[in-house]
Every structure is written in structure tokens, then in C-alpha cells.
Amino acid sequence: MFIVRLQNFQTTPPWFGLSPFLYLSLRDFGCGKAISLDDLFRKDRPNKMPDKQVAAPDNTAVRVALWRALHVEVDSPPHVLEDEVGLKLVAPDDGWRSRPDMSPFTRPFRASIVARARFIEDLVAEQAARGVGQYVILGAGLDTFAQRRPELGCRLLVFEIDRPGPQAWKRQRLVDLRLGIPSFLRLVPVDFEAGDAWWERLAASGFDSGQPAVVASTGVSMYLTKDAIAATLRQVAALAPGSTLAMSFMLPIELADPEVRPGIEQALAGARANGTPFISFFTPTEMLTLARAAGFREVQHVSAATLAQRYFAGRTDGLRPPNNSEELLVATT
């Protein structure tokens, strides 16, 4: 059994994992309408020569890394996710805690980021206990699973897929920090702008599509057309029996909790202004229906409220992810 993760693709175009509240960095990508996954990858960034890869993480990767670190620094224990390795990779200026995107206004969204990351890692641990042998993170960005969870990682082959430039930067930072590249970690560069297909690169790195897999796709679907989402669902549903998909999706804004609706509306406006509008919203019933039509044997809706109950129950500091904004689909073949 294998695990493929389309997680917060923190150093690539927006379909790879920008939550609605991370839209500010979309201006870096110069993307137009979301048509297909590969099309989105091939959009040139406006501040980059077409034939060069930027060897640095972009704003979204940095923001997520800092939010994870801020959770550990300012939120009361128990922490949902403990990740300060990303902070070491980024090595920001001393004033990073005063950035506008680190303000108390973003606290619920910070909770959402750590909640969904924890859910994915719990899923990995669960599947590893059932004999999963490989874990693939598509759009790894500044993901630090391999550094934080060596006791779990050493039971797997961990594949991190990312664009060559940012991945080379991350590799060098791991070396500089004397963290190194653990023996179970495979860094797989994929040059989408040159036409590389991530499935082919993944297979060339040892992934066996004939074995069951877990696919996690977070912060992606709102940027894709319904047809593109359905195509992705069909591709994953065609994996070996016993495969599992975890995919986040956005509810229609009118279903969002009133207290977080202004933040989501700001995200919608910002994304639209940057030319990367949110174009797909689903009720849970609609998403489950789409997954069934794609060929999944079992489908389940995991709500933000469920994540809040699982990871934030009993907290006295009020930290919790917003309800009815970004939800999860879990589907099995």
C-alpha cells in the first residue's frame, strides 16, 4: 500500500494547497482560470525568466511554516501539531511575529492549517500500521514530516515532489542545518513548466501504482473546475483496491459561520483580483456524489467541526478552526 499526498503545495501554483486565507501569495504565480492540474503548473511566474526555476520557497510556503511555528510558540498546549523545523528552514527576521498574516485575525485559519496537517499525518500513521510502505507528498514545499517524524518515516519510503528550484533550496537548507537527507526520504524534482508529468516522475522514483495508495489533496479543489476535479477523482479511483483519497473542498460561502465569513470574503476578493478566483464550491452531498460517480467504493464527509472535536476539544483558549469553510472528503476504492 502506498500514500500519495497532494498537500499544501506551498511552492507551486495555487491548486496545490492554498487555503482560502492564503490567497495573498497567488500574485506570485500569474495563473489564470484553473483548467487542469498540469496547465496550472505550466503558468510562468511574472517575476521569473521562463527558462529558469526560482531556487527559493515562495510566500505561501513561508506563511504555512510560520503559522505552524506560531502555533507552538503562542497557543497553549497541547499542540495539535508541533513543527518548528519549518521555522529553522525559513530563518525569518526577528520581527516575523509582527507580520500582518501572523495577527490574531488569522488565528482561526492557523488552527485550520494545523488541524488538516494533523489529520493527514494521523492518516499516514494509521495506514503505516496496516502495512503502508510509501508516503508521497506532492507539492511538499516546506513540509517537515521526514524531519519531525523519523520514528514513522523510517517505516516508509517518503517521496517529496516539488519544483526543482525550491526543492534544491530546501535540500541545501537541510544540509546547512545539519539535518541532512534521511535514508527513507526521496526528493523528486518535477519541472511542470517543461512538461514533466508528476505521475511519470513518481513512477520513475519507485512508486508502484499497482499497489494501494493514500492520496491527500488539501487546499486545491477551489481553484479547479468541476471537470478537472472529477478527472482527478477518476484518476485516484483507478488506483489499486484499498486506496484512499483525502481531499479538502470549500463550502458555498453562505454556509460559512458568520464570524469567519468576512475573512473568507476578503480571500475571495483577493484571489479574484490576483486572477486566481475560487471557482468550485460544493456542499458535502455534492462532493460525495461526485466521488461516487468517479468510482470510489466508499465516501465520507469529514467536517471542520469533526476536526475541531477531535483536536481542539477541551481547550480553554478558544482556539479552533472555523466551521463550515474548508471540509474534507475521504474516499476509498
Confidence of residue 271 (pLDDT cuts 50, 70, 90): confident
Q: ∠ CA 161-270-48 to the nearest 5 degrees?
A: 45
- C-alpha–C-alpha distance, residues 276 and 270, integer Å: 9
Kindly state the average pLDDT of the residues 255-264.
80
Of 273 and 306, the structure prediction assigns the larger pLDDT to: 306
Confidence of residue 123 (pLDDT cuts 50, 70, 90): very high
Kindly state the average pLDDT of the residues 299-314.
95
Task: State residue 1's pLDDT score.
Answer: 52
Q: Which amino acid is at 301?
A: H
Using a pLDDT cut of 90, give the percent of the chain over it.
Answer: 46
- C-alpha–C-alpha distance, residues 284 and 290, integer Å: 10
Phi, psi (degrees; rounded to nearest 5) at 127: -70, -35
Kindly state the average pLDDT of the residues 318-333.
89
3-class state of residue 300 by DSSP: strand
Task: State residue 19's pLDDT score.
Answer: 52
3-class state of residue 272 by DSSP: helix
Kindly state the average pLDDT of the residues 147-174.
93
Using a pLDDT cut of 70, give the percent of the chain over it.
Answer: 83
Confidence of residue 65 (pLDDT cuts 50, 70, 90): very high
Omega of the bond leading into 321 within 30 degrees of 0 (cis): no
The domains of the chain, with CATH numbers, are 2-332 (3.40.50.150)
Which residues have C-beta within 8 Å of that of residue 40, sequence separation ≥ 6? 13, 14, 15, 31, 34, 223
187-226 confidence digits (pLDDT tens): 989 886 677 787 789 889 998 888 888 877 877 788 788 9
Confidence of residue 127 (pLDDT cuts 50, 70, 90): confident
Rounded mean pLDDT of the chain? 82
Residue 61 has pLDDT above 50, yes or no: yes
